[in-house]
Amino acid sequence: MIDATTRLLIPEAERGAGTIVVVGSINVDLIAHVRRHPLPGETLHGSGGQMLPGGKGANQAVAAARLGGSVHMIGAVGTDPQAAVGRSGLQAAGVGLEGVREVEGPTGLAIVTVAEDGENSIVVIAGANAAVDAAQVTAAREAIGAAAIVVAQGEIPREGIEALPALVTGRFLHNPAPVMELDPAVLLASDPLVVNEHEAALVLAQLDPGASAAERSPEQTAEALRATGIASVVLTLGAQGALVADADGLHAVPAARVTAVDTTGAGDAFIGALAVGLARGDALPVAARLASQVGAFAATGHGAQPSYPQAGQALPPLSEESA
């Protein structure tokens, strides 16, 4: 454990070896299974009640580590008994936890309701994640500066995210989910920016307030984001795969066809796999193909972190390869 003033260092043996640093949330997921999602004011019977490790940051770190990535986590847990649950998946995956603080109060909590069709709804309570501020991020400047890939999301305070671009010397893999108001320079530092269509529209509205409100195709959305000055964009399209926009143009990434059991954390599995591909030197479209397979694999299992594949485990083929 560290406090906000402790320096976090990546071991010398790992420096320059494709290290991934994830700056983000650590939660405990309370899982409820229902036949369908309730209507406003409605009470339904459900099942489950499991408490599983989660949080977008921790999920992405675990996904990357289980695929063989060298991963360090910067985040926070509380002083409650749930802190051990929040850390458990990270520990099991071999993620470096020197950058995880313990702060007074509860660990972050996500209340996840999963319907029979695999779709979920989630309520997130920040808890200790609210302490991942600029001071903690800046205290980890050496680790962040030594990393090949630095990953961030939107479940920590704005000031923590805004401290990152000045410290990153590798690639800043930025997944602004949920989207919040950020200094435009932070969004423009993303390489890649990874968003779904809803998130893409919100980010574009921040960067180009005068942009037309007319409905855009995914290709037009990705190109519009690139036109603001973002070096590369990955637009995730669910069952339709993903779209990569970079200096070489647009690249369609097919989906892997699977029967979804629980989509909780599948997007985070995509991010973790994308980070691994980039850390090992893959071009962004190639890394996105791996990410598409890993995200689909995650949707076939229950929960977030327990559903992620290990390195060497068979992944579902992309749709173009399954004929």
Please answer whether residues 218 and 243 qualify as being in contact, where contact means their C-beta atoms are separated by less than 8 angstroms: yes
What are the two backbone dihedrals, phi and then psi, of residue 277, each rounded to the nearest 5 degrees? -60, -45
Of these residues, 29, 191, 246, 268, which one is catalytic? 268
Q: Which residues contact 168 (CB under 8 A, 6 or more apart)?
A: 144, 145, 147, 150, 189
Q: How many CB atoms lie within 10 A of CB 313?
A: 11
Residues sharing a CB contact under 8 Å with residue 312, sequence separation 6 or more, in sequence order: none
Residue with tokens 């983000």: 24
Q: Is 85 exposed, middle or buried (0-12, 13-18, 19+ CB in 10 A)?
A: buried
Give the integer Cα–Cα distance in Å for 323 and 316. Answer: 13
β-bridge mates for residue 75, sequence order = 100
Task: Decide if 268 is catalytic.
Answer: yes
Active site residues: 268
